[in-house]
Amino acid sequence: MAPTALTPVFVGLRTGLHVLFALLALVVIVRAVLRPGEYSAVVILLSALLLVVYGLGVLLPVRSRAGAPVVRSAWVGVLTLGWVGLLVLTPDAAFLVFALFFLYLHVLGQWWGSAAIVASTAVAITALALHTGWTVGGVVGPTVGAGVALLIGLGYQALAREAEQRETLMRELLATRGQLAATEHESGVLSERARLAREIHDTVAQGLSSIQLLLHAAERADADRPGVEHIRLARETAAANLADTRRFIRELTPPELDDQGLGGALRRLARTQWSAQGLDVCVRVSDTVTLPMHLQTALLRIAQGAVANVIQHARATTVTITLDVDRSNVHFTIADDGEGFDPQVVTAARGGTTDSFGLQATQERVQQLGGTLSIEASPGHGTTLAVTLAPGEAA
């Protein structure tokens, strides 16, 4: 198991199990020494052998992960056979079953481990009855020990599963945080580039265009006047600078939006990237629709994030992207025919935010633009993500 915050707890429990087995084996050896009998030497030898086998199983690493369960199960089987042989010789070996209970659950798992506990309890009770006769303690002791071992062992496994799930969730959160940071950084860069493009277009480019028109008008008003060649040179210089400025504006816009705007960018993604992943994307965006560059960039990123979620989670075959513009609002929808989901599960109660990081990023982007985001979904009926923006407010 990978290191977690609960690793010291698990290490402590496993160490306690090892110490318990060693102490119980030593109890058997000490009692055989203090109360010598016909088989005392064999009992001592077999107990020492059990300790050696147990230590080898604990200390020797298993090199192959694929063969680890088989090796561990074989190890537990050898220990069980040794314990049964020792139990035939002395009733004191019945104490070892308490350590074996935890070992069964740890190595064999919940179901096989529980079955092994039941079987070993029956063996211990029967062996004690054969050695000392049927007694209440000989039945209740192993039975209670088995019940306690089951409760502790199953609790240990539940704790281990929870720790693993929390560790997996933590890794996902860290990875998602990195993705969100990268997305926010990219969004900030694109927003700043779009802002610079708008500023240059509305100031420098418009000013150069006006200068060029004024100089052209002055040149045509009196083509033979002295110094007209200077006016012509100034007009040509303004025209050249205007062309450079427009090139700067094009370079500041996102590469996907350079040539055909939002509709062209979405169709290009549908033909190349999305179709290669087995998704049929229908784009209903008119090339005649003109939106500010920052809105086109935002809608492109929203579409990319939504389609990425569809590919990853929805198992859809078709996605339809639609853009409608009326007098006051921009309506942008992404609809798929996938598995859908329950919005009550995904949407957190507080603040209307979502537990899905992809949807949360989209929601934050829409809120920054002053718009609204709505999601219509139900299990088995696909999902429709609708964005409504007011271009005047979003500017």
Mean of the pLDDT values across residues 83-106?
Answer: 82
User: Residue 165 sits in which domain range?
Assistant: 7-172
Q: What is the predicted pLDDT for the residue at 282?
A: 93
335 pLDDT tier (thresholds 50, 70, 90): very high
Higher-confidence residue of 287 and 82: namely 82
- Counted domains in the chain: 2
How many angstroms separate the CA atoms of 48 and 37, rounded?
Answer: 17
Please determine, for residue 64, whether its predicted confidence score (pLDDT) is greater than 70: no
Task: Tell me how far apart the terminal alpha carbons of the chain are, to the nearest angstrom.
Answer: 52
How many angstroms separate the CA atoms of 260 and 377, rounded?
Answer: 32
Q: What is the CA radius of gyration of the chain?
A: 38
Query: Range with the lowest mean pLDDT among 180-194, 223-237, 304-318?
Result: 180-194
How many angstroms separate the CA atoms of 201 and 195, rounded?
Answer: 10
Q: Which helix (H) or strand (E) holds 137?
A: helix 136-200
Q: What is the predicted pLDDT for the residue at 62?
A: 53
Mean of the pLDDT values across residues 355-379?
Answer: 80
Please determine, for residue 149, whether its predicted confidence score (pLDDT) is greater than 90: no
**What are the distances in angstroms from CA 389 to CA 163, 324, 370?**
44, 11, 7
Beta carbons of 72 and 57 less than 8 angstroms apart: yes
Same domain, 165 and 278: no
Quick one: 36 exposed, middle or buried, by C-beta within 10 A (0-12, 13-18, 19+)?
exposed
Asked if residue 158 is part of any domain, the answer here is yes
Please determine, for residue 137, whether its predicted confidence score (pLDDT) is greater than 70: yes
- Per-residue tokens: 122: 């029956």
Q: What is the predicted pLDDT for the residue at 352?
A: 47
Q: What is the mean pLDDT of the chain?
A: 77
From 172, 187, 222, the end of a domain falls on 172
Q: Which of 219-223, 251-255, 310-314, 319-323 reaches the highest mean pLDDT?
A: 319-323
Please determine, for residue 356, whether its predicted confidence score (pLDDT) is greater than 80: no
> 380, 220, 372, 232: which is closest to 302 by C-alpha?
372
For residues 350-375, one letter each, b for 16 or more C-beta atoms within 10 angstroms of the residue's C-beta and e for the rest, the string is: eeeebebbbbebbbbbbeebebebeb
Q: What is the predicted pLDDT for the residue at 1?
A: 47
Query: What CATH number is attached to the domain comprising 306?
Result: 3.30.565.10
Mean of the pLDDT values across residues 159-187?
Answer: 76
From 148, 172, 196, the end of a domain falls on 172
